[in-house]
């Protein structure tokens, strides 16, 4: 009776044991061939799965070095699941500088038409803003930009506008960028007995009038557009035997105006050479 029961029990346990052993062998073989995958630097690396190995050690074995800004979403100090896909995003930060300038904003303006042609003198403000920029790239592709340390500097200066007959702008001169010379002014008028010839025609053959000035060609070339502080727009169209060095002889309308300008210090802005005023 006992022999029969023992035999039955053995037969009953035999089948589960065989199944367990078979499952164990199959799982062991399966785990041996399972892998994890690492995507880094545009390469896909497959690594044999090891349930006890930390991700940090796996990367070290594969000579994959993480930079401080690189992104990885897995815990480096934990084992990796089989068939896991590990993505490493290489992050590069590039620092640079940039600036932008606002448009000229007039705060004061005045038109003048007494010297040769109509002009407009403007006083205005321009703002220059500079930035420190940090651009971030993910795997060499632009991701974002951060603008830091914004600095704004306001610059106030004058500019001269040459106007056409229809008041449209022909030319703009930034007086802050123009060469300037301190000069001593005198003046002469049409018919001035001390002027060249009869005082009505310039050495270039033009009619003498307010706005035409006599210069020393060694200092200011003839046919140069000028702006003279307090006097206005001018054209270097004449010379004079007494006009040597930093001297400028201003064309005016009459003797009383001539007297008002005698031996005054002025600032002469050199605009450009031009065949016409």
122 and 184 part of one domain: no
142 and 225 part of one domain: no
Instruction: Note the pLDDT of residue 185.
Output: 98
Q: Can you give the CATH number for the domain in which 225 is found? A: 2.40.40.10
The per-residue pLDDT of the chain, averaged, comes to 90
204 and 154 part of one domain: no
**3-13 as b/e: b if 16+ CB within 10 A:** eeeeeeeeeee
261-274 residue pLDDT tens: 999 999 999 999 99
- Give Cα 138 to chain centroid, integer Å: 24
152 and 82 part of one domain: no
Q: Give yes or no for residue 238 having a pLDDT over 90.
A: yes
188 and 264 part of one domain: yes
113 and 191 part of one domain: no
Among the three residues 137, 153, 171, which one is the final residue of a domain in this structure? Answer: 171
100 and 46 part of one domain: no
CB-based burial label for 157 (10 Å; 0-12, 13-18, 19+) = middle
80 and 102 part of one domain: no
Instruction: Note the pLDDT of residue 195.
Output: 77
pTM: 0.68
β-bridge mates for residue 85, sequence order: 37
Cβ atoms of residues 129 and 99 within 8 Å: yes
Among the three residues 56, 89, 122, which one is the final residue of a domain in this structure? Answer: 89
84-143 residue pLDDT tens: 999 999 999 999 999 999 999 999 999 999 999 999 999 999 999 999 999 999 999 999
Domain boundaries, position 63: 2-89
Instruction: Note the pLDDT of residue 114.
Output: 93
188-235 residue pLDDT tens: 999 888 776 677 899 999 999 999 999 999 999 999 999 999 999 999
84 and 141 part of one domain: no
Instruction: Note the pLDDT of residue 15.
Output: 62
**Cα–Cα dist 161/168, whole Å:** 10
Among the three residues 122, 155, 171, which one is the final residue of a domain in this structure? Answer: 171
Domain count, the chain: 3
Instruction: Note the pLDDT of residue 31.
Output: 47
172-186 residue pLDDT tens: 999 999 999 999 999
Q: Can you give the CATH number for the domain in which 57 is found? A: 3.10.20
182 and 265 part of one domain: yes
116 and 195 part of one domain: no
3-state SS track over 191-237? CCCCCCCCCCECCCCCECCCCEEEECCCCCCCCEEEEECCCEEEEEE
57 and 113 part of one domain: no
Q: Give yes or no for residue 9 having a pLDDT over 60.
A: no
Mean pLDDT confidence for 147-169? 94
21-71 residue pLDDT tens: 655 544 554 545 689 999 999 999 999 999 889 999 999 999 999 999 999
Mean pLDDT confidence for 237-251? 95
């Amino acid at each position: 009776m006992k022999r029969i029961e023992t035999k039955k029990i053995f037969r009953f346990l035999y089948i589960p044991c065989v199944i367990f052993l078979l499952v164990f062998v199959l799982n062991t073989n399966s785990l041996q061939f399972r892998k994890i995958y690492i995507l880094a630097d545009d390469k896909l690396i497959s690594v044999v799965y090891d349930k006890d190995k930390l991700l940090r050690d796996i990367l070290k074995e594969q000579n994959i070095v993480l930079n401080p800004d690189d992104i990885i979403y897995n815990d480096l100090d934990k084992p990796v699941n089989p068939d896991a896909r590990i993505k490493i995003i290489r992050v590069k930060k590039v620092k640079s500088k940039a600036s932008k300038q606002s448009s000229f904003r007039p705060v004061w303006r005045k038109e003048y038409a007494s010297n040769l042609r109509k002009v407009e003198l403007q006083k205005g403000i321009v703002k220059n803003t500079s930035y420190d920029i940090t651009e971030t790239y993910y795997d060499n592709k632009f991701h974002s930009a951060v603008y830091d340390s914004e600095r704004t500097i306001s610059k106030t200066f004058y500019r001269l506008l040459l106007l056409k007959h229809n008041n449209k702008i022909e030319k703009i001169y930034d007086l802050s960028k123009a060469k300037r010379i301190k000069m001593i002014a005198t003046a002469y008028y049409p018919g001035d007995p001390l002027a060249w010839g009869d005082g009505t025609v310039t050495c270039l053959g033009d009619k003498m009038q307010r706005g035409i000035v006599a210069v020393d060609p060694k200092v200011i070339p003839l046919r140069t557009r000028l702006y003279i502080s307090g006097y206005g727009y001018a054209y270097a169209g004449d010379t004079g035997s007494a006009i040597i060095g930093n001297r400028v002889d201003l064309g005016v309308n009459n003797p009383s105006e001539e007297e008002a300008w005698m031996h005054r210090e002025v600032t002469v802005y050199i605009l450009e050479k031009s065949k016409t005023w």
